[in-house]
Structure 1
Amino acid sequence: MHCVLLSEIVSNEPDSMTFKVFDRDIKFTRDAFHIITGLKSYSSLDMKGLNEKENRLLRVYFPGKDKIELADLYSFNSSRPHGTTSSFAGSDDDALKLAILYFVESVLMGKRKNRNVSEQIMKIVDDDALCASFNWGSLAYETLLKSLKSCLKSNENDVEKEKEKEKDIDSYTLVGFPFAFCVWIMEVLPIFQEKQFVNFKEAGYPRMLCYSEMKSPQFDALCRKYFHNEKVS
Structure 2
Amino acid sequence: MRCKERDDVYKLALVYFAELVVLGRDKHLNINVNYLTLVEDLDAFNRYPWGSVSFDKTQDSLFSAPTKYMKSFENEEGREKGKSRVTGTSRKNEKGKKHKHGEVQRGGWSFKGFTYAFQIWVYELIPRMVDLNYCKVVDPTAVPRILRWRTTTSMPEMRKLNNYFFQSKESVQLRALRPSEEEMRQSYWSWPQDRPAVVSA
Structure 1 length-normalised TM:
0.51
- The two structures, once aligned, show a CA RMSD in angstroms of 2.7
Residues 170 and 195 of structure 1: is their aligned pair in 2 closer, same or farther, counting only changes over 3 Å?
A: closer
Q: Whose relative contact order is higher, 1 or 2, with alpha carbons under 8 Å and at least 6 apart?
A: 1
Residues 200 and 142 of structure 1: is their aligned pair in 2 closer, same or farther, counting only changes over 3 Å?
A: same
- Mark the runs of 5 or more structure 1 residues left unpaired by the alignment: 1-75, 81-86, 155-163
- Mark the runs of 5 or more structure 2 residues left unpaired by the alignment: 69-92, 96-104, 173-201
> How far did residue 213 of structure 1 move?
3.0
The within-5 A match list for 1:200-215 is 200-202=137-139, 203-214=141-152, 215=154
Q: Which residue of structure 2 lines up, in the alignment, with residue 99 of structure 1?
A: 13
- Residue 212 of structure 1: SS of its match in structure 2? strand
For 1:189-233, what per-residue CA distance to the aligned partner results, in whole angstroms no more than 9, with x for missing partners? Answer: 122234443110112122122113334331112222453111244
Q: Does 1:228 align with 2:164?
A: no
> How far did residue 185 of structure 1 move?
0.8
Q: Identity, % of aligned pairs?
A: 25
Count of matched residue positions in the alignment of Structure 1 and Structure 2 = 138
More strand by share: 1
Letter in 2 for 1:230: K
Q: Does 1:217 align with 2:148?
A: no
For 1:123-166, what per-residue CA distance to the aligned partner results, in whole angstroms no more than 9, with x for missing partners? Answer: 22221111122222112111111121222456xxxxxxxxx878
- Residue 141 of structure 1, aligned match among 55, 58, 62: 55
Q: Which residue of structure 1 lines up, in the alignment, with residue 64 of structure 2?
A: 150
- Residue 181 of structure 1, aligned match among 118, 125, 128: 118
Q: Which residue of structure 2 lines up, in the alignment, with residue 199 of structure 1?
A: 136
Letter in 2 for 1:129: D
- Residue 220 of structure 1: SS of its match in structure 2? helix
For 1:90-146, what per-residue CA distance to the aligned partner results, in whole angstroms no more than 9, with x for missing partners? Answer: x22112101111111111122223212112322222211111222221121111111
Residues 147 and 96 of structure 1: is their aligned pair in 2 closer, same or farther, counting only changes over 3 Å?
A: same
Distance 2:8 2:107 in 1: 41
